[in-house]
Structure 1
């Protein structure tokens, strides 16, 4: 039976929750201070219907300065200007609005009625009876989960790997047998494909990816029934809303996975795909805090790229209030954006 463990890392400017599934990161939840809470999954609003698009069975709604999209059935077309109580159903992602579901009629101007559940509550929903671990161990687990989110190629148990890549239209999962051992090629490829389904299901949840997912399976003459059964089991935690198709003539398996949260790459990275200044600044502050805890009383010096130092300035002021003004952050033009150093003087 699968076991889940929960971890919560609270740091200046950001909190991260992690769910481990049998020792491997399955979910990473990130909550950053200053981010707009209006479009967090589960937040409730009074919304006003701004514009109805019958051709797409959708309506644009105003949440109070923030726009979202609402789907409707033909027999439940909303009226422009009407007030509705809604809940965030999917968070926004690059180029896409958040979506909402209707809870019922409402009165008054658009406004936030209730915040989304906090990280502790979200974590507990994944494992009701598990204790949440905090502190140094939680930080290490969160760092490892974040690193795995940013990887593209992931090893499979028993050999081989998968490459998970997001495009505008879909998520592709390429299965590679690599140096997987065995004399029976058909058995080796079958086991690799089964491992790929299980591993990819965990990783897609971890990365916050969904929508259309296409597996490029390895080998030929697939056992379609076995793969379909394995896929249903692997993606069961993503229900309701999972739809899985049969293995196609070209050796691909297609499915749709509900999108609910913002993909973590959208949170961690900038438009160019590299880590954002904000992400790097948060990492720097955590590194200083960790070093300060391991060397009580020592004076610390940190060097980083100028843009990261600027992004870290307001966080550094708060860190000084926590550990004392015993550290400095010096910008250094020669350093790459993603490199920094923290050392005791």
Structure 2
């Protein structure tokens, strides 16, 4: 039986929730205190229909403060421009795409935020029922490990072989490679590799927050399409409703669609061109400073950081000091690269 465990890590400015599947990270849920609550899946808003596009059976809706969402409507319920609707956010926005919303009923003016979406704690409780969360240092270690895996492209499979997961604008490409995996029966070896790769791909896509069209380039030739489709249906069953599969093609690819509901973690943690964002670096700095202060009770913790990261980190360190005391000595190092910071206990 598959075993899941939930972890909860809190730091000033950020909450991270992790769910593991048989000891390996399956979900990393991240919330920051400057997230717009109107764009979180599950949030409800009294919105105004701004423009209707009959050719696409969709409408642009005003969510307030210059933010828009995209509403798909059924043929028998075409909205009217200017109409007020209560909408629920179904999928968070992503680069070049608006938040996807669905209408839940009529609403009264004005446009306004009504109900927040599920919190990190709510989502953990939904994923792992009737179980206490692991907190403290163990939760922090697990969240750090999950973050590292989520930002990795090449993943080693249990028993050998690798999968490489590369999101593009159009689809998520997954390549399965035998690598150094060896065995006496090459055909059985490749079959088992592909079955393992499908299961691991499902877990990793959930961890990374990826969805949409997924194309898995399977290893080898002459695939057992029925076995692979059954394995895929089982592996992706927890992502339903909304998962759809195509047959294994003559080119050795398995295609499927997985609903997008949250932002990809790369969009949250990285700069558009790659590399951790200033905010991500600031949160890492604060976690390190908090851990150092907890380990060295009563001693001063010295923090050195580059200007861009210090600007975001110092208000969070102030919040740490409010809880742990004025034990943090700070220094801005103007000539340091953006991603360098140091925590020490003199």
Q: Answer whether TM exceeds 0.5 for this pair.
A: yes
Q: Are 1:140 and 2:144 counterparts?
A: no
- In the alignment, which residue of structure 2 is the partner of 1:182? 183
Match of 2:88 in 1: 87
Instruction: State the shift of 1:331 in Å.
Output: 2.8
What is aligned with 1:329? Answer: 330
Q: Provide the TM-score with structure 1 as the length reference.
A: 0.98
SS at match of 1:5: strand
Give the CA deviation at 1:321. Answer: 1.2
Report what 2:285 is aligned to: 284
Number of aligned positions between the proteins: 345
Assess if the C-alpha contact under 8 Å between 1:89 and 1:101 holds in 2.
Answer: yes
Tell me which residue corresponds to 1:6.
6
Give, in angstroms, the shift of residue 196 of structure 1. 0.6
Cα separation, 2, equivalents of 1:184 and 1:245: 28
The secondary structure found in structure 2 opposite 1:132 is coil
The aligned runs of 1:1-345 (5 Å cut-off) are 1-65=1-65, 66-345=67-346
Please state how far the C-alpha of 1:118 moved relative to its aligned partner: 1.4
Q: Distance in 2 between matches of 1:56 and 1:269?
A: 33
Report how far residue 328 of structure 1 moved. Answer: 2.1
Offset at residue 309 of structure 1 (A): 1.4
More divergent stretch after superposition (300-309 vs 186-195) = 300-309
TM-superposed deviation, 1:249 = 1.2
Q: CA deviation at 1:292?
A: 0.5
Partner Cα separation in structure 1 for residue 83 and residue 245 of structure 2: 37
* 1:81-129 residue CA offsets vs partner (Å, 9 max, x unmatched): 1111111100111121101111111222111111111111111001211
Instruction: Name the SS for the 2:267 alignment partner.
Output: helix
CA RMSD of aligned residues (A): 1.1
Residue range with higher mean Cα deviation, 304-313 or 224-233:
304-313
Give the distance between the partners of 2:197 and 2:249, measured in 1 at CA.
17
TM-score normalised per structure 2: 0.97
- CA distance, structure 2, for counterparts of residue 268 and residue 93 of structure 1: 13
User: How far apart, in 2, do the equivalents of 1:57 and 1:266 lie?
Assistant: 28
Structure 1 spans left out of the alignment, 5+ residues:
none
1:234-253 CA-partner distances (Å, limit 9, x unpaired): 00010000001111111111
- Aligned counterparts of 2:161 and 2:307: Cα–Cα separation in 1: 41
Mapped partners of 1:329, 1:182: distance in 2 = 56
Q: Is the partner of 1:63 in helix, strand or coil? A: strand
What is the alpha-carbon distance in structure 2 between the residues aligned to residue 332 and residue 190 of structure 1?
A: 54
User: Distance in 1 between the 2:11 and 2:116 partners?
Assistant: 21
Does structure 2 retain, via aligned residues, the 8 Å contact 1:4–1:130? no
Q: Return the alpha-carbon distance in structure 2 between the equivalents of residues 305 and 252 of structure 1.
A: 46
Kept in 2: contact 1:288–1:302 (CA 8 A): yes
